[in-house]
Amino acid sequence: MNSVNPTLKMAAVLLVPVLALFASQMILASGPAKNQSLPLANAPYVLGDKIDAYSDFMMSGGPPPDGIPSVDRPDFINALRARLDPGDMVIGVYHRGEARAYPQNIMVHHEIVNDEIGGLNVAITYCPLTATSQGFKRGNTTFGVSGQLLNSNMVIFDRESKSYFSQINATGLRGRHRGRSLDEINLIWTTWGRWSAEHPETKVLSERTGHLRNYNRDPYGSYNPIGGYYSQSRTTFPLMHESERHHSKKMIVGGRNAQRSVYFVLEELAREKVLYSDNFLAVYHPGYGTGYIYETGGRDIRIEAHAGGRYDFEGQHYAAADLPLDSVIPVDGFFFAWNAFYPNSERGTVSTASSSRGSDGAVSSGPSGPPGVR
């Protein structure tokens, strides 16, 4: 047998625990702790109902978890290669100089794209039943479609903790993150013509998703021209709250913070350019055809619209997205869905004096007509 130098043997014995300690520190720094870094909001969003009520009302939409497959390795093409009509709907995101468009005809088959843009890991989510597109910072995990629905709205889950989140109120329903709200990013629900005019350098999600789907067919209807489920008053699944204040598929832009929520009817905002509620205001972005929402804190703030999508505030002109006020993430969607989650939302009107809270008892004589594509 070969003998071992006693000095080397002692050095090896002493080195083993040092290496073990170093390895454990490396695991803690880059292993599970990193995977658990799902970004969450500093304070949870206000809710229209208790978490237990949401959890009890949640129901299966049919597919099992991941039965609707997310796109986890997205591929992008240049705008000139995109086979899109100007009237086709897309979800747009712009971050750190990068613009991307996620066509609705692809998103309707996958509902979630786990992506990275400008160095930020994000989940781009879309619920066809509620017409809501929302973006979330995802840290080092990915999101999937749970197959569950709440108020006809998709329930997503993060694959690290298996926590379930409502998309519209961005708040955990089950699991480790129950009651916590996700950290959101702003998405733009608009037409390809509008988005490509604002961002001609945009990249576009390719149909090379890794899944075999007919992206020329929308199982729910059509947005260009609008038809099928997207224009009908019917909804498919039960709702916790209902209202006839507006046509169920009327497009609104809603917002919320930790204390309260609000919504603005988009066609009214497009006409008036500025709308107010007791604690919020919204301004219209003519390029995108949507709105930006700001907090007023009950102050009597006046904004004046000017040509070119500019707004006068205290003698200075600003773009719709750049007013020097605290903003909230705007969410475009169908009225019925926002009301199901936030039945007591403030409603934006032309002046704060005529604003109103909630939809209880405020029943119109009938639906106000189907929504138009902006």
pLDDT of 9-63, one tens digit each?
A: 433 433 333 333 333 333 333 333 344 489 999 999 999 999 999 999 999 999 9
Mean pLDDT of 282-303: 97
Q: Render pLDDT for 202-246 as a digit per residue (tens, 0 to 9).
A: 999 999 999 999 999 999 999 999 999 999 999 999 999 999 999
Alpha-carbon separation of residue 91 from 121, 328, 344 (angstroms):
17, 18, 28
Q: Who wins on pLDDT, 267 or 369?
A: 267
What is the reported pLDDT for 23? 36
| Cβ-Cβ contacts under 8 Å for 267 (sequence gap 6 or more) | 250, 251, 371, 372
What is the reported pLDDT for 178? 98
Q: How many residues does the chain have?
A: 374
For residue 106, give the nearest of 124, 81, 121 by alpha carbon: 124
Q: Is 13 buried (19+), middle (13-18) or exposed (0-12) by CB count in 10 A?
A: exposed
User: DSSP letters along 180-213, please?
Assistant: PBB-EE--EEEEHHHHHHH-TT-EEE-S-SSS--
What is the reported pLDDT for 351? 73
Q: Distance (Å, rounded) from C-alpha 361 to C-alpha 358?
A: 9
Mean pLDDT of 292-321: 96
* CA angle, 277 then 289 then 206, to 5°: 130
What is the reported pLDDT for 352? 53
What is the reported pLDDT for 233? 97
Contact 272, 356 (CB under 8 A): no
| Cβ-Cβ contacts under 8 Å for 11 (sequence gap 6 or more) | none
Instruction: Output the average pLDDT for the chain.
Output: 88
What is the reported pLDDT for 315? 95
Contact 126, 143 (CB under 8 A): no
For residue 105, give the nearest of 220, 210, 198 by alpha carbon: 220
